């Protein structure tokens, strides 16, 4: 089982990730992951200065709570074939509140499982880091000096609240991993 620190060792900020990618732009690519319930969407891209299009890969199916052996194998194969220097992972913050929800937990859980299954030859390391990217640019709630957030006192104007459709990340049609990658490039270059 991974320790709480193991996932923090592979995470980096968008600014640091962009800097790493700038240094390796001539020889490496970035892999974008969009982790959803039931599948992982994939896209590969070269440095934006080359003005090449983002290449969408076949999604990896997920089943159940445990990660199948094929997921780390497929990711390792892509990392070697494409010379991947890092991962941009879709970070699905809830759109209405700007808070972390089930989908963010699913992303972290999947990343932890990948780390556990590849512990002998890791594909995600501090030298091949992971950057969590909120492509929707959700505005985070403000917190006062006592740590209180006014959003918790807000009432809904909806007569019926359906958390599954209003808060959770709705699976996208097609492969949103390429859109996440394009948005990351646009914001950082």
Q: Mean pLDDT for each 10-residue chunk of the chain (189 residues)?
A: 70 91 83 91 89 90 79 92 94 75 89 89 91 77 78 70 58 72 85
38: left (phi over 0), alpha (psi -120 to 50) or beta: left
The model's pTM is 0.80
Q: How many residues does the chain have?
A: 189
Pairing verdict, β 29-36 and 84-90: parallel
Other C-beta atoms within 10 Å of 81: how many? 10
**Pair 86, 130: CB distance under 8 Å:** yes
- pLDDT for position 76: 93
């Amino acid at each position: 089982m991974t320790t709480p620190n193991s996932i923090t060792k592979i995470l980096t900020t968008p600014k640091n990730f962009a800097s790493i990618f700038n240094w390796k732009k001539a020889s490496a690519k970035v892999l974008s992951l969009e982790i959803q319930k039931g599948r992982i969407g994939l896209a590969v891209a070269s440095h934006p200065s080359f003005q090449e299009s983002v290449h969408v890969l076949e999604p990896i199916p997920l089943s159940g709570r445990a990660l199948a052996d094929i997921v780390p194998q497929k990711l390792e194969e892509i990392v070697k074939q494409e010379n991947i220097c890092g991962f941009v992972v879709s970070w699905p913050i809830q759109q209405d509140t700007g808070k972390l929800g089930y989908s963010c937990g699913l992303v972290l859980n999947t990343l932890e499982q990948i780390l556990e299954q590849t512990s002998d030859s890791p594909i995600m390391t501090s030298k091949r880091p992971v950057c969590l990217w909120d492509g929707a640019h959700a505005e985070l709630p403000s917190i006062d000096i006592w740590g209180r957030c006014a959003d918790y006192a807000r009432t809904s104007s909806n007569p019926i609240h359906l958390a599954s459709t209003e808060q959770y990340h709705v699976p996208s049609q097609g492969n949103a991993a390429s859109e996440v990658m394009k948005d990351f490039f646009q914001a950082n270059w």
